[in-house]
Amino acid sequence: MFLGISIPLAAASLQWCTRHPQVAATIPGARTPEEARENTLAGQVAIPDAFWKDLEPLVQHWESGVDR
């Protein structure tokens, strides 16, 4: 439960990837037809902008090509 609504983890995970402007497609793995249907539904879940805004402080952008 987040912001008083239920957001499935699969929905947040799949939609997180597709929100990046350089990501053209997200291809989740599915072992069964049921999992494929669940992934399709997860991509259609309405997630409020406030959810993504609240996640922004948790995101770290790593410099490419720099070993740490």
Per-residue pLDDT reduced to its tens digit, 27-66: 888 999 999 999 999 999 999 998 998 888 887 766 665 5
Global pTM reads 0.72
CA–CA distance, 11 with 57 (Å, rounded to integer): 20
Domain-embedded: residue 66? no
Structural domain boundaries enclosing 8: 1-19+34-43
| Residue type (1 letter), 25 | A
Residues pairing with 2 in the sheet: 5
Residues pairing with 5 in the sheet: 2
Total tally of structural domains belonging to the chain: 1
Contact 66, 23 (CB under 8 A): no
State the angle between helix axes of 9-18 and 33-44 in degrees (0 to 180), rounded to the nearest 10.
Answer: 70
Domain-embedded: residue 10? yes
